[in-house]
Amino acid sequence: MEKMDRYVLENIADDAWRMFRIISEFVDGFEALGGIKKAVSIFGSAREKRNSYNYKMAVQTAFLLAKENYAIITGGGGGIMEAANKGAYLAKGTSVGLNIELPHEQKPNKYANIRLGFRYFFARKVMFVKYASAFVVFPGGYGTMDELFEALTLIQTHKIKPFPIVLFGKKYWSGLLKFIKEYTLKNGFISKGDENIFKISDSPDEILKIIMRGTENLK
């Protein structure tokens, strides 16, 4: 019984310290990003090569947005995250990298001029959404999909105000769009109109126009 009591107390202590760590991540994020008035969170594969088409398009997209005074927020790592931070850096804009601690270490890229480290995905995800005026989502894997559907769910359920979500790459995202329209919508798992929460584009210039139209009331 004594061993069991000690085990319970040790776990309670661990949970208490974990709670403080979680709170500290929120506090650090709010303090670092609290001055941002409008921002675009950009997502995509960390595995994208620097000479790839998508990498170059991410640089250009972030550059155009930063020139219009949008802060650029990414996950702070390589691939598309690096490309977006680089575009903002080249435009002399605000370039935010929210890095995550992983078993296989994700190294922060050198183009973020505001850097934060997170242990918890959910705390980091709050920062992506809370300070976003729009999302741009490049081709990517599970993490990219997770961020996309987090925002779609929050908008669909009216937990946050709608903002522009633009997927880059019509060929890459066409299968997802088809699935949503032909299966999810037809089976009544989403409501009519939910399939239009996001747009798809192949053009950085068009993405800029979509976002500017959707955020025209922001100063």
Q: Does residue 3 lie within any of the structural domains?
A: no
Total number of domains in the chain? 1
Q: What is the CATH number of the domain that holds 100?
A: 3.40.50.450
The DSSP bridge partners found for residue 137 are 43, 167
Q: Does residue 7 lie within any of the structural domains?
A: no
Which stretches of the chain are DSSP H helices? 2-33, 53-67, 80-90, 121-130, 142-156, 170-179, 204-214
Answer whether 136's CB lies under 8 Å from 42's CB.
yes
Q: How far apart are CA 165 and CA 31, in angstroms?
A: 26
SS3 207: helix
The most confident of 15-19, 81-85, 116-120, by mean pLDDT: 81-85
pLDDT the model gives residue 6:
55
Which pLDDT band holds residue 11 (cuts at 50, 70, 90)?
Answer: low
Q: Does residue 113 lie within any of the structural domains?
A: yes
Q: What burial class does residue 72 get, using C-beta atoms within 10 Å of its C-beta: 0-12 exposed, 13-18 middle, 19+ buried? A: buried
Q: Does residue 12 lie within any of the structural domains?
A: no
- Specify the range with the lowest mean pLDDT, choosing from 62-66, 105-109, 143-147: 105-109
pLDDT at 13 exceeding the cut of 60: no
pLDDT at 216 exceeding the cut of 90: no
pLDDT the model gives residue 38:
96
Which pLDDT band holds residue 15 (cuts at 50, 70, 90)?
Answer: confident
Percent of the chain with pLDDT over 90: 84
Answer whether 71's CB lies under 8 Å from 40's CB.
yes
Residue 2, token pair as written in the block: 């004594």
Q: Does residue 28 lie within any of the structural domains?
A: no
Q: What burial class does residue 176 get, using C-beta atoms within 10 Å of its C-beta: 0-12 exposed, 13-18 middle, 19+ buried? A: middle
pLDDT, tens digit, 9 for 90 and up, residues 161-189:
999 999 999 999 999 999 999 999 999 99
- Mean pLDDT across the chain: 92
Mean pLDDT of 14-20: 80
Q: Does residue 14 lie within any of the structural domains?
A: no
Note down the domain range covering 78.
36-214
pLDDT the model gives residue 217:
78
pLDDT, tens digit, 9 for 90 and up, residues 103-116:
776 788 999 999 99
- Specify the range with the lowest mean pLDDT, choosing from 20-24, 91-95, 200-204: 20-24
Distances (CA, A) of 167 to 20, 23, 69, 130, 140: 36, 32, 21, 19, 11
Of 58, 4, 17, 80, residue with least CA distance to 201: 58
Q: Does residue 128 lie within any of the structural domains?
A: yes
Q: Does residue 22 lie within any of the structural domains?
A: no
Q: Which helix (H) or strand (E) holds 217?
A: none
Answer whether 184's CB lies under 8 Å from 190's CB.
yes
Contacts of 133 (CB under 8 A, 6+ apart): 38, 39, 40, 70, 163, 164, 211, 215, 218
pLDDT at 9 exceeding the cut of 50: no
pLDDT the model gives residue 8:
45
Answer whether 160's CB lies under 8 Å from 135's CB.
no
Instruction: Match 């995509």 to its residue by tokens.
Output: 44
Of 38, 46, 47, 41, residue with least CA distance to 61: 41
